[in-house]
Chains A and B, each alone.
Chain A
Amino acid sequence: QVQLRESGPGLVKPSQTLSLTCSVSGASIRTDDNYWSWIRQPPGKGLEWIGYIYYRGHTYFNPSLKSRITMSLDTSKNQVSLILSSVTAADTAVYYCARTPPASLGDWFDPWGQGTLVTVSS
């Protein structure tokens, strides 16, 4: 079955750039018809969709973060990457990657990775 695992630095300084990687197993990001999503959750708070990238490379971002986000695919490693620039303390959160299967019934997230906590602090 599809499994995802996020990785990245646990601590980032304010104004710096956050880089996260999602390693995918059980599916090929190069050929399988999926979207690959990033979602975040500040400690003790709710969920925020960051955006997703289609297997053909098209990206769709939350307008609230769009100016600071880059997403990409590394097909040789079967990985999805998220870059968030100019971070502040408000970007402290658990970051999840998830698969969004193509469907006429809408977009949902299944499965999710286990998440990785990123703290923005000097």
Chain B
Amino acid sequence: DIQMTQSPSSLSASVGDRLTITCRASQTINNYLNWYQQKPGTAPKLLIYAASSLKTGVPPRFNGSGSGTDFTLTINSLQPEDFATYYCQQSHSSPLTFGGGTKVDIK
């Protein structure tokens, strides 16, 4: 199985901050990498697919980049509604696997 490692596992930030979350795959996955946002008590929502493609309707302050084994999710000018847990997910190989999550809370 491909292991997905996210860092950090949690962070504190303020409204207006720019933050970066990293996701590393245990082997190359080309650009088969997706990002989700999950708020407490709700289902995850797709933000970015294929490493850098923004889902329609997702604010452009969310940006995904990377290829191969190293990927980043950047949130520019953090908004109050962005405090949540973020997960990466690879679809290069079965079984599809997720990172352990990065919880973003208010500083």
Contacts and interface: CB of A to CB of B under 8 A. Distances in A.
B36 to A, nearest CB: 8
Interface string B55-90: 100000000000000000000000000000001010
B32 A106 contact: yes
A89 interface: no
B34 interface: yes
A107 B91 contact: yes
A105 B95 contact: no
Contact of B94 (A47, A60, A113): A60
B46 interface: yes
Contacts of A96: 43-44
Interface residues on B, range: 20 to 34
Given A105-B50, A114-B42, A47 B95 contact: no
A105 B46 CA distance: 14
Contacts, number: 65
Nearest to A114: B43
A63 interface: yes
Interface string B29-59: 0011110100000111110011001010000
B96 to A, nearest CB: 4
Contacts of A114: 42-43
B97 interface: yes
B98 A108 contact: no
A63 B1 CA distance: 10
Contacts of A60: 94
16 contacts: A47-B87, A47-B89, A62-B94, A62-B95, A62-B96, A64-B95, A98-B43, A105-B32, A106-B50, A106-B91, A107-B32, A108-B91, A110-B45, A110-B46, A112-B45, A114-B42
Please list the 8 inter-chain residue pairs (A to B) with the smallest Cβ-Cβ separation, ordered nearest first. Answer: A106-B91, A112-B43, A105-B50, A107-B91, A106-B32, A110-B46, A49-B96, A62-B95
